[in-house]
Amino acid sequence: MKNKKNSVMIVDDEAMNITALSHILKGDYLVYVEKDGRGCINSAKELKPDLILLDIVMPEMSGFEVISKLKEDHATKDIPIIFVTGLSDAEDEERGFNLGAADYVSKPFSPAVVKLRINNQLKILNQMRIIQEISMTDALTGIGNRHFFYAQLEQEWQGALRRQNPLSFMMLDIDNFKAYNDTHGHLQGDVVLREVAQILKRSAVRTTDKVARWGGEEFAVILPDTDLAGAKHVAERIRTSVENHTFSADGKISADGKIHVTISIGANCIIPDRTTGYTLEDFVSDTDKLLYKAKAAGKNKVCTPEPVFNN
């Protein structure tokens, strides 16, 4: 995130204002431009700018109407919005803040003030992102934790519900991990957990795929826009990668070079449908049951809603 520029969307129907604001911001930020409220709403969903500079007085849809729409949508509700306006009425300012505006810039605007107000909001945003990232990261493995997992799965569930696309999800468990810890020690067990996490990250190759440590020796993988056949393919690739991996011993390869573990996987897929009453919690529960079926079937296997397929 340190090397990535923050993005700012300018929304104004006056070309002169767009030109002036773009000149002020170029070089420091990635700048997007929209000339009306409808364009702002559509582009904000797609581009997800870090901040929006929004004019209040625009034809067809006012800035007040635009911010109301943005704050109602899950995809855009957290984007900070600074109103840029020539209005000086305290009631208008109060209305904007009540609708969720982060700040105001008055016209005619000062370039220094515009920069300071934007910088202040983005500084807060970036700090919050760092805190959120830390709170959602598993300290041992460096991948997402259970809190991260639930946030991502809820988001992907809602997206699949809107688009009616398949959503796949798998739960993984390291086989006989307690016995492994008893034999090799908990420090060596930590090495296995970290290296399994890295295998998962390499196997989930798309940026939309998400991996997390569920807890203990259990992990989870979310595969948006993936059907059951695709989930099976990824699950088997993960299972094989773990089985064939030689794990390090306290940072060095073990004396005999043969420290290996296996995993069991429950993989599931669904296209969410509000009319069925089937919930996200049901989906997680059913996937967990598939994992236990894989364990009961002899471990080192992938189990799906279809019969277990062997190695």
Catalytic residues: 217
Three-state DSSP class for 133? helix
Residues 6 or more apart in contact with residue 243 via CB below 8 angstroms? 260, 262, 263, 300
Quote the CA–CA distance of 32 and 268 in Å, as a whole number: 39
Quote the CA–CA distance of 295 and 146 in Å, as a whole number: 22
Name the helix (H) or strand (E) containing 238. helix 228-244
Three-state DSSP class for 24? helix
Asked whether the beta carbons of 284 and 153 are under 8 A apart, the reply is: yes
Written as six digits, the tokens of 181 are: 């810890």
Quote the CA–CA distance of 273 and 169 in Å, as a whole number: 16
**Sign (positive or negative) of CA dihedral 283, 289, 294, 299:** positive
Burial of residue 216 (CB within 10 Å: 0-12, 13-18, 19+) is exposed
